[in-house]
A and B are shown apart, each in its own frame.
Chain A
Amino acid sequence: MVSDRVLIINGVKFKNHNISDHSIATRGESMEISIDVGEIGKFVGKYSLGRDNGENSLHFLRIKIPAGQIDSERLRKIAELSRKYGKGYAEVTDRQSIQLHWIDSDNALEIFERLYEIGYTTDMCGQAFSGACMGDVRNIVTCPLSGKISEFDVSELSKRLTEFFTGNPEYLDLPRKFKIALTGCGGDCVRLGINDLGMYGIIHNGERGYAPFAGGSIGASFPGPTIAKPLGIFIPESQAFEFVKAVVEIHRDFSSRESKAKARFKNLVNKWGIERLREEIERKTGMEYERIEISNPKPSDHNGHGIQADGLYYYTLPVLGGVLSAEKLDFIADMAEKHGSGEVRLTPEQNVTFVDVSDVDVLKRDLSRVFEIRESKLRYSSIGCASNFCGKTKEPHAKDMLQKLVEFCESRGVEDVSIFISGCRNACGCHHVGEIGLVGRAVRAGNGVSQGYDLLYGGSFTELKLAKIWKEGLYGDDLFREFEKVLEVVRNGAKTEADK
């Protein structure tokens, strides 16, 4: 009999735990014992640790920040977690989450309890399973200035969807993960085209709503890197929740479970075609959506500073590769309180946007005490994945490579390009849609193996255009030589196959 009313696991006391006595049932000749997990049950389906395999880290914790909006109090709580459990390191992901590393699974329950108290959950990290199963809806990428520069506040839908899908047992065993992006600022600041479902907020005949794009995903899974296609319909704002829910259910019920490689939504969209997908959605929702012609979204970002609808300002702090620390999170929280409403927005380019700022110059002066502020496209819009932690690269890792290439560009006075670097073909650094993209691969070098990179150019997520390979398997000086050539080509206006 277990009589603990307070559970102690791995030396961690878990408060208010309630393990019931066990019922013992006889079924035929075998005996079955039931163990009530008590309060631990509230974490199941909402919290998980991901697998790391580098930098001596075994687990990461990817904290979902709904709509990328976070207040100073929660920033400080995450800083505390980083300091206590994650060696004081933190990174902003390109899906507006905050990721910690070096998480010891022995501390997981205590960490989950702290997140639970502040209303945060994590990605479910089911990607390690070998089969087509246990996929979840990932953090919904949302325009960082939702509700600040126009009346179309798409973060309301984002938060409602997040609440609905999180921990909902009906949506925890998708064939694979499902990625959603929402924007309502008039352009594409969220990389709509590389999401399973991108919802482009528009005003149509005076009504707010969305033009959906479906089936994007630039990972290596079948049928390969794919840009989302417009569904050619208008979804009124009031119907958007049911629409998104229906699409996720179609993925759940119809995407292949034959193998992990075939289980992303893009494969189903590719197989069905847009017309069949539209029919299935309409059958499910019972709606007949208005057909519209939609051109590709205009490029958009919210870098630098600008004025909000209420006359206050926003300012985006460039954070190359999204790399922060507990101290910097605390400092950002202080600055958000001192100069604004106490809230910041994490961006899909791994930066931090301060909102409701009264004096941008004073904010920047304060920020420069801790951050090196260089407001170039190069530093704002470049992305590097965390391949040093997942173990997919050896040195130079993706974020190190990004730092080197950014400095290389700056030493030549070039600051008007962006670089997207992924450590592997899973494309977490979105290299396929980079103006300049790099993806890691091991290459033979002399008698050994070196960390090489394929170099790509001419991609654009806003123009829904995949990058083209320049050269493969580059490393050392060759990589920088070829990079310099690509830089020249890109700055002179690259033309890829897609343009011709």
Chain B
Amino acid sequence: MELKLKQINDDVFELDVRGNTCPFPQIFTELALKRIESGRLEVITDNPPSARDLPIVLKRRGYQVELEKEGDHWRIKIWK
């Protein structure tokens, strides 16, 4: 199984994990963060528990996090 990390801007990558339930949005986000190392990651999830949990978990790990609702999903912006 492969995740697709799309570069949407200089140093900004997007990961779409819609359709995944907990804990996979978190696990896939951590894999993507390991990959991009620096820059900003924007994760798209439609799983409400992930929108609740991801900002908490990532802030605990020292990331800056912004959560935005976009229609039926959330966009979570993550950077150091």
Instruction: Please count how many residues in chain B sit with their CB below 8 Å of the partner chain's CB atoms.
Output: 31
> Shortest CB–CB separation between residue B48 and chain A, in angstroms?
5
The residues of B that contact A130 with a CB separation of less than 8 Å are 46, 48, 72
> Shortest CB–CB separation between residue B47 and chain A, in angstroms?
6
Query: Is there an interface contact between B7 and A48, defined as CB atoms closer than 8 Å?
Result: no
> Shortest CB–CB separation between residue A176 and chain B, in angstroms?
14
| A33-B7, A128-B48, A129-B46 known; A44-B24 Cβ under 8 A | yes
The residues of B that contact A31 with a CB separation of less than 8 Å are 6-7
Separation of A97 and B57 alpha carbons in the complex (Å):
29
The residues of B that contact A34 with a CB separation of less than 8 Å are 2-5
Separation of A19 and B31 alpha carbons in the complex (Å):
9
The residues of B that contact A48 with a CB separation of less than 8 Å are 21-24
Task: State whether the Cβ of A180 lies closer than 8 Å to any Cβ in chain B.
Answer: no
Partner of B21 from A10, A40, A109, A124 at Cβ < 8 Å:
A124
Query: Is there an interface contact between A128 and B49, defined as CB atoms closer than 8 Å?
Result: yes
The residues of A that contact B3 with a CB separation of less than 8 Å are 34-35, 37
- Residue ID in chain B nearest A37 by CB atoms: B1
Separation of A53 and B6 alpha carbons in the complex (Å):
33
Partner of A2 from B34, B49, B72 at Cβ < 8 Å:
B34
Task: State whether the Cβ of A411 lies closer than 8 Å to any Cβ in chain B.
Answer: no
Categorize the interface residue count of chain A.
35 or more
> Shortest CB–CB separation between residue A322 and chain B, in angstroms?
23
Task: State whether the Cβ of A295 lies closer than 8 Å to any Cβ in chain B.
Answer: no
Interface membership of chain A positions 169-194, coded 1 if the CB is closer than 8 angstroms to chain B and 0 otherwise: 00001000000000000000000000
The residues of B that contact A250 with a CB separation of less than 8 Å are none
| A44-B24, A129-B47 known; A30-B8 Cβ under 8 A | yes
Interface membership of chain A positions 12-40, coded 1 if the CB is closer than 8 angstroms to chain B and 0 otherwise: 00000001001000000011111111001
Query: Is there an interface contact between B19 and A173, defined as CB atoms closer than 8 Å?
Result: yes
> Shortest CB–CB separation between residue B80 and chain A, in angstroms?
17
Query: Is there an interface contact between B47 and A32, defined as CB atoms closer than 8 Å?
Result: no
A-B contact pairs, 20 of them (CB 8 A): A2-B35, A4-B34, A10-B30, A19-B31, A30-B7, A31-B6, A31-B7, A34-B2, A34-B5, A35-B3, A35-B31, A37-B28, A44-B1, A50-B22, A51-B49, A58-B49, A58-B53, A108-B23, A128-B47, A128-B49
Q: Identify the A interface with B (CB < 8 A).
A: 2, 4, 9-10, 19, 22, 30-37, 40-41, 43-44, 48-51, 58-59, 105-106, 108-109, 124-126, 128-131, 133-134, 173
